[in-house]
Chain A
Amino acid sequence: MSEHIVSTKIYFAIFTALLVLTASTVAVASVDLGRLNTIVALTIAVTKAVLVILYFMHVRYSSRLTWVVVSAGFVWLGILIAFTMSDVLTRGWLAAH
């Protein structure tokens, strides 16, 4: 499974995609889109990270167990941020009473 050899063509294609995405995130950042700026920047960053994880880090060709472990890492990251923000952003609700 981890023996799968990815062709260099794919590596260069991913590399090119990463450069294009970097250029676009810099270009979009100078345009005022309001709240969308953050969403676009994060969408591009997540896309780049997924490309690196799947191809450079070979997760696409790894065992199901590796998939589970990698996903778990990001699920817990999401839990940490979501639960923390659900506290921070709702503190004002109590003061209003």
Chain B
Amino acid sequence: MSETAATFAHQHQFDDAEQQRDASTLGMWVFLVTEIMFFAGMFTAYVVYRALYPNAFAHASHHLDVVLGTVNTTVLITSSLTMALAVHAAQLGRRGAIVTFLLATITLGCTFLVIKSFEYAHKFHEGLVPGPNFAYTGPDAGQQQLFFSIYFAMTGLHALHMVIGIGLLAYLVAKAQRGRFSRAYYTPVEIIGLYWHFVDIVWIFLFPLLYLLGRHAA
């Protein structure tokens, strides 16, 4: 089994390279569907408790920093663009451009995580972390703790997905630099790209649901 770009065509169980690529894409999508269901549990928890305690959720949401949230949304959308451009470069067999766009995606991913860590630090400082040190003591304190529990669970697991994604991108950079991808074979770039866009989509929903909810209530 030779993996060099020039000779790699397809594994023997596939008719041709296109069938192999379609199978890989489909397999990745099946995995992403399990990921949808993984996040769906938490989204459902959010919907249930928001329906039960709409006012507490709106007030708790007001403690989140909309400016940082908006900046991070923009950073992540831009990283999706650079990821799409990396796949585009791979399709055209442009090795240098693949590496450049992958590194840009990694940089944007790290930027997102750094901004997120500042937000987390601020929440710890303000005593908005659920548990014995939760500083807010109003009548709906328990309900607000629920909001922050969901906030930390969802954004934390989203951030974990980002960390994994950045690791996968670093692996792609190493492979691309060694010339392992060509116009005939770039499947890893394509399917890790699918994963990266999926993580972006999760954030596209988290941002309005968590940050913008209490915006107009003031």
Chain A: residues with CB nearer than 8 A to chain B?
A: 1-3, 5-6, 8, 11-12, 14-15, 18-19, 22, 25-26, 29-33, 37-38, 41-42, 44-45, 48-49, 52-53, 55-58, 62-63, 65-66, 69-70, 72-74, 76-77, 80-81, 84-85, 88-89
- Which DSSP category, helix, strand, loop or mixed, fits chain A's interface? helix
Mask: chain B, 162-181; 1 = CB below 8 Å from A; 0 = not = 00000000000000000000
Given contacts A26-B70, A31-B216, A56-B84, whether A42 and B208 have CB atoms under 8 Å apart is yes
- A41–B47 Cα distance when bound, in Å, is 14
B104 within 8 A of A: no
Inter-chain contacts of B40 with A (CB < 8 A): 76-77, 80-81
Stretch at the interface among B27-35, B121-129, B142-150, B152-160: B27-35
B88 touches A56 (CB 8 A): no
B88 touches A15 (CB 8 A): no
B194 touches A57 (CB 8 A): yes
Q: A45-B207, A81-B47 known; 9 other A-B pairs, CB under 8 Å?
A: A1-B18, A2-B18, A3-B21, A22-B74, A25-B208, A66-B25, A69-B29, A77-B37, A88-B48
